[in-house]
Chain A
Amino acid sequence: GEDVEQSLFLSVREGDSSVINCTYTDSSSTYLYWYKQEPGAGLQLLTYIFSNMDMKQDQRLTVLLNKKDKHLSLRIADTQTGDSAIYFCAESKIINNAGNMLTFGGGTRLMVKP
C-alpha cells in the first residue's frame, strides 16, 4: 500500500538546524520530493532525490534517504523565520509513462522562533 507519514509539528530557534522526517512504504517510488507551503500559497517544490541516491545537498537544504528503512529527511541549515511553513514529503510513481502520481505525507508545520 501507499502511506507516507510525517510528524505534525516542529519548532526551532532562528539559526538552528531543522530536521523534518518522513517515512514511506512504497519501495517502487522513483523519486521523493519535498514541497513547502506558505500561508495562502500553493505547494512550492524545494528539492527532490532519486530513489537510488542516499544524499543530496542544495545550499541550505540536505536530503537524506535511507532506502532500506524507507526513511527520508530534510535538513535546513541556519533556519530563518522565512522558513516557517508546512513541509510535505511526497513519493512518486510513474503512471502511463506520461506523468507521476504523487503521494503526500500529512505535512510538518515548522515554526521558527526569533
Chain B
Amino acid sequence: EAGVTQFPSHSVIEKGQTVTLRCDPISGHDNLYWYRRVMGKEIKFLLHFVKESKQDESGMPNNRFLAERTGGTYSTLKVQPAELEDSGVYFCASSQFLAGGKTQETQYFGPGTRLLVL
C-alpha cells in the first residue's frame, strides 16, 4: 500500500512568488492534515480536512495560505505571496476517520516538502 506522498520534495522560490504544495493521502483516508516546521521551531498544526470539508484551520498563519481538497482526495496548500518566514518543512498526514466513539488515531506522515523562500 502506498504511503502519503508529497510534491515537490523541495522548492526554492523568491519572496513574493507563489508556491503550491501537493499531498496525496493514503487511499481511503478521509482525514488529511497539514503541519509545518519552520526553522528552529516545533512542528505545528495548520489545518484538518475530513474529505473535502475543512474542519479546523485554526493553525493557518494568515490569509496568504490557502488549502483545498477538491473531491476529497489529494490536497493542495498554496502560499501567495510567499514571505521569508514561510521557509520550512511542510508535512501532510492522513488517517482514517474516527467513528463509533473511537479516539485513538494513527496519523501517517508524508516525507514533507522543504520550502525555501529567498
A-side residues, CB < 8 A to B, are 4, 30-31, 35, 40-45, 48, 50, 88, 92, 94-107
B104 touches A45 (CB 8 A): no
Give the complex CA separation of A35 and B37 in angstroms: 15
* 16 further interface pairs, Cβ-Cβ under 8 Å (given A35-B109, A48-B106, A96-B56): A4-B42, A31-B104, A41-B111, A42-B91, A42-B111, A43-B43, A43-B93, A94-B103, A96-B55, A98-B55, A99-B95, A100-B98, A100-B107, A102-B35, A105-B42, A106-B42
Interface size class of B (residues with CB under 8 A): 20 to 34
| Residues of chain A within 8 A of B31, CB atoms compared | 98-99
What is the total of A-B residue contacts with beta carbons within 8 Å? 76
User: How far apart are A56's CB and chain B's nearest CB, in angstroms?
Assistant: 12
Question: With A and B bound together, what is the CA distance between A4 and B44 in angstroms?
Answer: 11
B: residues with CB less than 8 A from A are 3-4, 31, 33, 35, 41-45, 48, 50, 55-56, 59, 91, 93, 95, 97-98, 103-112
Decide: A99 and B104 in contact? CB cutoff 8 A. no
Tell me how far the C-beta of B113 lies from the nearest C-beta in chain A, rounded to whole angstroms: 11
